[in-house]
Structure 1
Amino acid sequence: MTQHACFGNLGDINDIDFCVPLQQLYDEHPSLLAKMGDFYSMVQQLETNKENTDWSEAIASLNDKLEIFVAELEPHSDREEDILFEMMVKYIGREGGPIQVMEYEHNTAKQNIKLFFEKVTDITVNHNQVSQEKAFELFNHIKIIYTTLTDHFMKEEQILFPMAEKMLSDAEKEELALQFKTFK
Structure 2
Amino acid sequence: MELSPCMMAHDGDVQLCPALQQLKDEHGPLNEQKQQLVDMAQQIGQNDETADWKEALLTLRENVQSFLEQLDPHSQREEGVLFPMMAQYIGRTSGPIAVMEYEHDQAKRNIATFLEQTAHLSGTVNREAAKQLAFYVINAYHILTEHFMKEEHVLFPMAEKLLSNDEKEELAQKIQAI
Gaps of 5+ in 1: 1-12
Residues 151-160 or 36-45, more deviating: 36-45
Greater fraction helix: 1
TM-score, normalising length: structure 1: 0.87
Letter in 1 for 2:148: F
1:32–1:69 contact (8 Å) kept in structure 2: yes
| Cα displacement string for residues 102-157 of structure 1 (whole angstroms, at most 9, x for unaligned residues) | 0000000111111111011131xxx2322212211111101111000000000000
Residues 48-101 of structure 1: CA deviation (Å, up to 9, x unaligned): 214235311101110111111100000000110000000000000012200000
Written as runs of structure 1 = structure 2, the 5 A alignment for 1:134-149 is 134-149=129-144
Give the TM-score normalised by structure 2: 0.90
| Aligned match of 2:157 | 162
Matching residue of 1:180: 175
Q: C-alpha distance in 2, partners of 1:53/1:14?
A: 46
Q: 1:76 aligns with which of 74, 77, 102?
A: 74
**Greater shift in the superposed pair: 154-163 or 134-143:** 134-143
- Hey, what does 1:132 align to over in structure 2? 127
Segments ≥4 residues shifted beyond 6 Å? none
Q: Which runs of 5+ in 2 are unaligned?
A: 1-10
Q: How does 1:82-161 map to 2 (within 5 A)?
A: 82-123=80-121, 127-161=122-156
Equivalent residues in 2 for 1:26-37 (5 A)?
Answer: 26-37=24-35
Aligned pair count?
Answer: 168
Q: Is the 8 A contact 1:54 1:132 kept in 2?
A: no
Identity of aligned residues (%): 47
Show CA shifts across 1:16-61 (max 9, x none).
2211111111001111111111111122223321423531110111
Aligned position for 2:8: none
1:46 aligns to what?
44
